[in-house]
A = this chain, B = another copy of it.
Amino acid sequence: MAESGPATLDSVAARAGVSRQTVSNVLRHPSRVAAPTRERVLAAIRESGYRPSLPARQLATRRAHAIAVRAERQQDGISGLVLDAFYHGLAEAGQDNGLRVLLYAQPEDEAAEVALIDELVLTGAADAVVLTATSADDERPAHLRANGTTFCAFGRPWGHDDEPHDWVDVDGAVGTGLAVQHLLDLGRRRIAYLGWPGDGAEPSTGTDRRRGWLDALAEAGLGGAALEARSLNDAAAAQAAVAELLDAPDAPDAIVCASDTLALGAHRAATTRGGEPATVVGFDATPVAAALGLASVAQPIDQAAHLCIELLTGRLETPDRPAQGLLVPPVLHLPT
């Protein structure tokens, strides 16, 4: 076996008695090769333990066969967990589509991030990028579009529908709607919403979730009784806000929350008082909600990641196709 170094297309070709290109065809375009030849080549590949060289392929095709995604500098709350699941989903879907997933460290600001992304694309380290944590005043999509960089956002282009791009998002309104329905089924009628400051102004994740709650109430004919509190995504602040809400004359008997962090605060406010505690529903179905025995809206993160890869592979193949936006519905996780 004393070969000289690892097997290459040429060494396999020699062993099988065919040309370099035929071996390549067996791997990339099997239909172009006659069955007997194919078998012979496959045997040679197996015997020699041949593994195609990725860099050589990248150089020849001018494709990195990789996408980049940001590693967040730090999580702001309990819900950060979902990112791990997203990474896994991307890696898994990527593997199925011949795309590797590259991690880049979150830079100081959006300008630096766009520059870094373009660096990755220009050096041929990645073909495209998945944008996470998008918001209404996010400048990254516009810049990437201007630079001609292929990307897909996990998150809607809030308020930028005039500049279409590929995106995937979870339908938060459906999620809070499910939460409300669940509470109605439980016999609750005074269903409050605990959201983030500013929800309701410019379009955002928060606005969307709040709307789902409001619409579901309206549909149930309970629109007038809209009870509501706001809090930063911090359990202590949430606890205070909900305590106030519960002290009011017409206290709610249930609270739909925009996040599990808020739900944790709401849960503590609800349980540290006498009487029948208000039922709390969280958002993101983190282990915290499970630990507290709370129902929580689960985002189909894995599905979202797969769809991002799908959009990206599609666009890399057909760069000119129209931009697509995909909305996936969440499901309600009930406590066990």
Residues on the B chain within 8 Å of A102, using CB: 66, 100-103
Is A123 engaged at the interface, CB distance under 8 Å to the other chain?
A: yes
Please tell me if A228 contacts chain B, counting CB pairs below 8 Å.
no
Once the chains bind, are B123 and A54 in contact (CB under 8 Å)?
yes
> Which of B74, B77, B234, B236 contacts A88, CB < 8 Å?
B74
> Does A85 belong to the interface (CB within 8 Å)?
yes
A197 within 8 A of B: no
CB under 8 Å from chain B, chain A span 123-156 = 123-125
Most buried by B among A52, A92, A119, A292: A92
User: What are the interface flags for A71-85 relative to B under an 8 Å C-beta threshold, 1 for contact and 0 otherwise?
Assistant: 111111110110111
The answer to whether A88 and B73 touch (CB under 8 A), given A103-B103, A125-B54, is yes
**Residues of B contacting A299 with CB < 8 Å?**
none
Measured CB to CB, the nearest residue on chain B to A95 is B105
In the complex, what residue of chain B is closest to A234 when comparing beta carbons?
B291
Residues on B with C-beta less than 8 A from A95 are 104-105
CB-based nearest B residue for A66 = B102
Nearest residue in B to A60 (C-beta to C-beta)? B55
Residues of chain B lying within 8 A (CB to CB) of residue A75? 81, 84-85, 287
For A118, give the chain B residue with the smallest CB separation: B51
Is there an interface contact between A105 and B92, defined as CB atoms closer than 8 Å?
A: yes
Tell me how many chains of this kind the complex includes: 2
- Taking the nearest CB of chain B, how far is it from the CB of A22, in angstroms? 20
Q: How many residues of A contact B (CB 8 A)?
A: 57
A94 — which chain B residues lie within 8 A by C-beta?
105
* Cβ contacts A294-322/B at 8 Å (1 or 0 each): 00000000000000000000000000000
A327 within 8 A of B: no
Q: Which residues of A, 276-294, contact B by the 8 Å Cβ criterion?
A: 286-288, 290-293
Q: Nearest CB to that of A77 among chain B residues?
A: B287
- From 26 to 75 in chain A, residues with beta carbon under 8 angstroms from any chain B beta carbon are 51-56, 58-59, 64, 66, 69, 71-75
A226 located at the interface, meaning its Cβ lies under 8 Å from any Cβ of chain B in the complex: no
Report if A122 contacts B (CB, 8 A): yes
Q: Is A242 an interface residue (CB 8 A)?
A: no
- CB A266 to nearest CB in B, in angstroms, measures 12
**19 A-B Cβ contacts within 8 A?**
A6-B122, A52-B123, A53-B123, A54-B124, A55-B64, A56-B124, A69-B103, A71-B87, A75-B81, A75-B287, A80-B84, A81-B84, A83-B84, A88-B105, A88-B106, A101-B102, A235-B292, A261-B291, A264-B288
Extra 17 A-B pairs, beta carbons < 8 Å, given A55-B59, A69-B103, A71-B91: A6-B122, A51-B119, A51-B123, A54-B64, A54-B124, A55-B56, A72-B84, A75-B84, A80-B81, A87-B87, A88-B106, A95-B105, A101-B103, A102-B102, A103-B103, A236-B293, A264-B288
**A interface with B by C-beta (< 8 Å):** 6, 51-56, 58-59, 64, 66, 69, 71-78, 80-81, 83-85, 87-88, 90-92, 94-95, 100-106, 119, 122-125, 234-236, 261, 264-265, 286-288, 290-293
